[in-house]
Structure 1
Amino acid sequence: MRKHLRPPLFLLMMMLFSPSANCYTAPKIALIVGNSAYLDSPLRNPVHDANLIEKTLTSLGFEVIKHLDVTQNAFKRAIRDFGDKLELAGKDSIGLFYYSGHGIQTNGINYLIPVNAEIRRESDVGIEAVPASDVLSVMDYARNRLNIVILDACRNNPFARSFRSASRGLARMSAPQGTLVAYATAPGQVAQDGDGNNSPYTSALTRMMQRPNLVIEQMFKSVRRNVMAATHNRQIPWESSSLTDDFFFSTDNDGGNTTQADSAITESDNTPGHEVVTPVNSQKFIENAKKIADVIEKNANIYSREKIRNLTSKVVDNVQKAVSLDNAEAYYLLAMLHEDGYGNIDRDMQKMIDNIIKSAEKGFAPAQYMLGDMYADGDEVVKNRKKAIYWLDKAAKQGNKEAKQELERLLGNTQSTDIANKLSRPRIESGQIKPGATVQSCDRLAAHSLDSDAVAPGVTYENLDAEAIIIACTSAISEQPGIPRLKTQLGRGLHKAGRHDEALHILRDASREGSALSMALIGIMYMKGDGVEKSLSDSLHWLEKAAERGNTGGMVFTASMYLRGEGAEPDPQRAAMWYQKAVDAGV
C-alpha cells in the first residue's frame, strides 16, 4: 500500500503494535556496582543491595549491567563501557547508575572506593579511588535525554583517622542538565548499612520503584519518608535534580494510581481509578480506540511493554466492537490492522481487502479512495482502470481531495461527474493475470505481501497449505521456469512443511535471479537456525541485501539488528537510515 494511503491514526498504530518499535520504548540502561569485600572494613549489605536493585530494574524493563566487588581498573572500565553503551543507545535513552559500598569525600570531591584500594593517607584517595564525577562525565558525553545517579555510599569514612580533614558522608554534587543525583542521606551525613540483608535506603527504593504512576521526584519523596520512618529520622535521603522531563519507573495500575494520561482511557475499564464509560453507539468505540492510541503515543517512552500491550489490546477490542455494530469506519480500521498484523489481529491481506470493500460499500470515503487507488496501481488486487475510476469518483464526490487528484491523473483534465453511474458496479477479483492454471494456483496459495513481484493477495505463514503449494508451485516452475517469485513461493511451502534444506536451496536459486523476498527469507532462516547453523551475522548479510533491493521487511529487520548490535557492532545511525527508508517505502 502506498504511503499516502495510511491514515494518521494507523501510522501511529503501526508503531504501537509493532513487536520492535511499538512497542518500541526508549532504551533504559543501568550500571550497578556493589562493593562489600573490603580487606580493612568489609560491609555486609552492598552485594545484597546490588542484587536486589538488579532484580527490580530488570523487572521494570532496564538492561542491567552488574559488577560486584570490583577493583579500581574494573570499576573504571565498567564506567567507560557504560558510557559507550549509553551513547550508542541514542539520544532518547535513559541511563541509571547505582552504587552501594564505601564512598568518601575529600576537599569537596566524592570518591567511590574499589575493594582493592590501599588508602593510608588522604593524598592516596585520588590515586586509589574512583571519582563519582567520572560517572556524570560519561553520562554528559553520551548526550542522552535523562540520567539517574543513585549513591548508597554515605557510610562513615573507614580511613578517617588517617585523614587530616575527617569529613562525614558525601559532598553535594551539581547535577548536569537532564540528570538526577540521589544520595542515601543528606550531604555531609552518614547512612546506615542496616540490620537485615539490605540497607534501609535500598529496601525503600526498590519498593517505591515498583509503585505505579509515581513521577520520579514523587517516588524519591516516598523513599525519603520510608527511610526516615525506618531509621527514626536519623537518615534523611537527599536528591539534586535538573530534570526537565517526567519519568516513571512503573506505570502499571495498582488499584487507584493513575497518570493524567491514563484518565483519558475510558473504554469499559473496571480497574479502580479509571473512569468507566459505556459507549452508547459504535462511533463511541471508534473515539475510544483513537483516544487510547493517543495515550500510548504520548507515553511510549515511559510505559512498560506490558502496559502498552494491555492498552493496544483495548484499541483492537474497541475497533472490533464497532465492527460488530456495522460501523463503516471500523471496517476500514480493521482492514488496516489486518494489513499489518498488529496486536492480536493476524496479518491477512484477504481480510484486509474484504473489510476495505465493506467500508467502501457503506460509503466511507477514505476506504473508497484506498480501494480506487489499489485498483489504479494493481496493489494487492488485479489492476482495473474502470473500478479505480468508480471508487475514486465516489470518494471525490464526498470531498476527498486525494481521490480527486488521483481521478484527475487517471482521466487527464476531464470532468468526473456522473462517472460512477456510467460504470458497472465493481466486484473484487483475486488471483493473477497469467493464463497458466498452475501458475495461478501457486500465486493464490503462496503469494507473500512483501514480494514486490507478487500478483495475488498475500497469504500469512499460518494459513499456508504446504502440500498444495508444493504440488502447484512445482508444476508452475516447470511451466514458467524463468519467474523467480514462483521459486520463492515454493520455498515458503517447503519451509512450512519442515523441509528446510530444500527450502533454502530453492530460495537461493530465486535470490540469484534477483528475488529480494527470497534474500529476506534466507536471512530469517539464518536468524532462527532453520536448515542452517544459526548465525546472526549471516542473517544480517542476507536481510541487508534484501533491504538494498527494496524489501521493506528486510529494511525493518536490518534496522532492528543494527540498533541492538545483533550480527554486527551496534550502529544507531545505520539503524536510523534503514528505519527511515522503511517509512519512506510506506511501512
Structure 2
Amino acid sequence: MTEMAVGIFTRRQPSARPGRLSGRFWTVCAISIPLAVLSVPALAQDADDPSGASRVALVIGNSAYQNVTPLPNPANDAELIAEKLWESGFEVIESIDSDRETMLADLATFRSRLREGSEALFFYAGHGVQVGGRNYLLPVSVAPASPEDLRAQSVDAQLFVDIMDASGARLNIVLLDACRNNPFTEIDSEDAEDIATRAITVGQSRQEVERGLTLLSEASSGGLAEMTAGDSETMISFATAPGAVAFDGTGRHSPYTASIAENMDEPGVELAELFRRVRGGVRERTDGLQIAWTTSTLENPFYFKPDTDDLRGSTTGLGVEGDTLGGLPPRRIVDRTFWRAIRDTDRLDAFEAYLRTRPDGAFVDEAVARIAALGGDPDAVLATDPALPDLSAQAQVGQTASKADVIERLDRDVHAVPIGVGPRDLDLPATASDGWVYVSRTPRLGEVRGADGSVIDQGSVHYMQPGDVPEFEPFVGSNGGLEALEGLALGQDGATDPVGVEIEVYVDACDMLAGNPYDSERVTAGTRQFILDRNFDAAIVACELAVDRQPEVVRFWAQLARAYRAAGRYEEAREWQVKAVEAGYVNAMVYLGQMHLDGQAVAQDFARAYELFEAAEEAGDIAALTALAWVHRAGVGVPQDYAVARGFYEQGAARRNDWAMTNLAEFYQKGLGVERSPELAERWYLQAANSGELTAQTRLARMYQDGDGIPQDFDKARFWFETAASRGVPNGLTRLGIMYEQGQGTATDVEAAARLYVRAARAGDGEAYFRLGRLYASRTPLFDDPARAALLLERAIEKRVYGAERELAKLHETGRGVPKDMARARDLYAAAAEGNPWAARDAGRAFASDDGVEPDFARAAEWYRRAVEGGVPWAAWDLAKLTEAGRGVDRDRVGALVLYATALGLSDDQNLARLVGEATAGYDDVAFVTAAQRLLAASGDFAGAADGVLGPGTRQALAEAVAARNAGLPPEPVTIETLAALAAPR
C-alpha cells in the first residue's frame, strides 16, 4: 500500500462514554485545500438572472457520530451561525447531524442557489481528516475500516470550495471549525467492533479490518498546511493556525464559533476587521494557546450587517416574486418563533403541533408536560412506524447547550415586536419620563416615533413629558434580530443617566409558516405549498393565534385561510378568504377563485372564479396569471385553448413566477398546443428548479434520468434529485435512493439508499416502503431481515404501490420472515397480476403448486394465459407443459407446440431455447406443419384447414410470412425456429 499522509482537523469535548479519553483534549491540525477549480459541470444559468438570492449560506454541524467519537458542540455551533446568518439577510441551507448523502444533497441545493454576483458562505463544524493531501469532512454515518473506506464514506472539502469558486459568486467565505482530534486514534472497543462487524458482513476479513483500522489510527501527521485562495475573491478561515492547536471550549460553543457569532451582530464591522477581532477573541478564550488562521484574496469590503439606517429589502427571497428556497428558516428561528406564539395558550392542538413538527426542539419537555396536563397523549404524537428501521444518527449530543441558547434568547427581557403588524409601545425607564433625552442609538430594523408622531433619529435630543410613550414599528424587509434604543437622560444639574430598551424584531409564526411566496404583500420569503401541506396543523394554530392577537391585520386572515385549505377545512377557509377579499386583500382573490373553481365549500362557479382571477391580475398579483392559465388550459368555463394558457404562463414567467415556468416546461415536454421541444422544456424546468420550485426539480431530474428527448445524464439527474431531497420532497428522496442503490451517477451505496428510503417513508412516500421492503427481502449484506421486509411491504400494499403484492407473495411462498402460506401467496400474486404479467406468471406457478395446498391447474392455466398475452415467455413454456399433459386444459400436443414456439419467439434466453429444443425434439413433421398452419391462420395469412399437410397453399403462406417477417429462414421443412418466427410479436 502506498504511503499516506493523514492529518486531522476535528474536535472533541470530554466524553462520558466508557473507554474514551476524558479531560480537555487538543491536537495538531492539518489542512490543505488548494483553490484549483474542480471539474464540476456548471449548470446553465443566466448571468443576468435576477431571481437568485444575493446572500446564500450552507451551514453544516455534525455532532452525533455513530461509530466515532461524538462531539458536543458542532451541531450547536452550526445552529448559532445559521441563526446569525439568517438575521444578516442570508438564505440559509442548514444541515445538522447529516449523513453523507444528506451533506451532498444540501450541497446540491447550495449550488443551485448560487448566482453570478452572489455572496456565498460555507460553514462546517465537526470531524474532518486529511488523507493523501485531500481533506475530508466526516458525516455522522462514517464507519470506515480503512483509508479507502474513509474516502468513499466522507465528503471531499475541496468540492465545497470549488463549487463556490465556479459559481460566479462575487465573494466566497469558507469557515471551518473542525481542527481538532483524530477520531480514529480513540475508537473505543465497542465502536471498533461495530465497524469490524459491518465490514465483515460486507465481505472483508477480520485481519483486513484490523489492518485498515490500524492504518487509520497511525496515519495522522503534520500541522496546518499553508494555502492560497486562488483568483476569485475568497476568504478561508480555520479555527487554528499552522502547527497550533484547537480547543472545543468548556461552554456552549467552541472559542472560534463564539468569537465569530458575537462579532457578526455588530453593524458596520468589515470582514477583515471582524476576523481580526475573532483572532483576538479566540486567543483570549484559550489563554493564548489557539490562534485562528485566515487567508484571503478579498479586494472589496464585505459586511454581515452594513452600518445603514434602513435594512429594508435585505430579506433573501422577498425582493423577487416567486423565488424562495422551499424550506423553513433555521431550526432555532422556527423553534423560538412557534413557541413564542403558543406558550401562553391552553390549546392542546398547539402543543401537539409543536411536538410533531419540532421533536428535537428546545421546548419538547415543556410541550410534553403541557400535553399531558391538557389530557393528551404525547407518546401518540411522537409515535413512529415500527416497520421502519432506525438508521438515523444517535440521539443528538450537545442538545442541552442548544436548548439553553434558544430558551435564553426567548426569555430575555426585551420588547418583542413582530414585523408587519404595526407599531408597539416602548416602555422607557422612569428616568426618561420628564426631561430631555439625548438619543445615542436607534434601531436600524425599524422606526421609533415620539408621542407626537415625529421620528426619533439617532443623535437627536427630545423632551419627554410624563406619560409620553414612544412607539417602534419594524420595517418590512428584514429577517429581524436584536436591536436597542439607547440614550442619556439629561438632569437639571448636568448629570446624565443612561436609558434604553432592548428590542427583538421577529417574523410572526403565522407569516413564517403560512406566508405565500407569490403574495406581493408578504413580509417574509414565504412558505411553499409543499411545506405548508406538511405543517398545516402548526400553521393553523399560529395563524388562529395571530388573528386573535392582531385582528386588524388582514394578511393573517388570508394566511389562515391558506392553512385551512391545506388541511381540507374548506368551510373555514372560505370564511376567512371571503373576509380578506372584502377587505381588499388581492392575493386572497386568487385562492377564493380557486375554491369556486374546485367547488370547495362554495358552489362551483367558473364565471365567478374567472372574475376573481382577472381582478387579482389587474391588481398585479402574479399567482393570478397561473390561475388564469389553468382555466384556459383545462377549458373550464371557457373553450380549452393552450395558446391562451401559454400566454398567461409566459407573462408569469417573465415576472419570475417559477410555477408558471414549470408549466411552460410541461407544455414543451408534452407538446401541449406547441411542437414538442424537450430542449425548451429543459430550459424552463431549469429556470424554475434554480428558483427553488420543487416540482420542476423532480421533473427535470426524471428527464435527465430517462433521457426524455435530451441526452441521458445521471450526474444531472442525481443533482436535481438531491436538491429536491434536500428540501424533504418524499419522492425526491426515494428517487435519489434508487440512484444510490443502482449506482446511477454515483458509486453503488446500498446503505445510503436505505437511509434515504427511511426518510422518504417517514414522510409518507409509499414507493419508499416498497423499495425498503424489497431491500430487506433481498439477502443484501447488512439488510437481510425478511420479517421487517414483510411489514414494510404490507405498508406499501396499503398505499397501493405497484409491485408490493408480488414481493410479499414471494415471502409467503418461501416462508421467509413470515409463516409459509401458499394460499396467501396465491391471493397476493393474483392481486399483483392485475397490472403485471410477470406476477400473472407467478400466480400461475402458485396455483400449479402442491406445496401445502391442492394444485388448481385450471386457475394456473388462466393466469399463464394472461401472462402470455402480456408477453412473458416463461409463462408460454409453463402453459405448454400443462397443455401437453392435459392438466387444467384439454390435452393438445399441437397447441403445446404453438406455445413452445411462442415462448421462443418472445425471448432470446438461451436457457429457454435449450429447454424448448429438448421439449419439442419428439414432435413429428405433421405436428410442426399443423402448428404452422394454426399460427398462419391466427395472423390472417392462411385460410385453409390445419391438417398437417404441407400442400401448395401452406407452402406459399409460409414463404410469404417468413419473408414478411425478415426471418431469414427457409420456409420448409418447418422447424421450431420457423414456428418461433411466426409466433413472435410483429
Calculate the TM-score normalised by the size of structure 1: 0.45
Rg bigger for which structure? 2
Task: Give the structure-2-normalised TM-score.
Answer: 0.28
Higher relative contact order (CA 8 A, sep 6+): 1
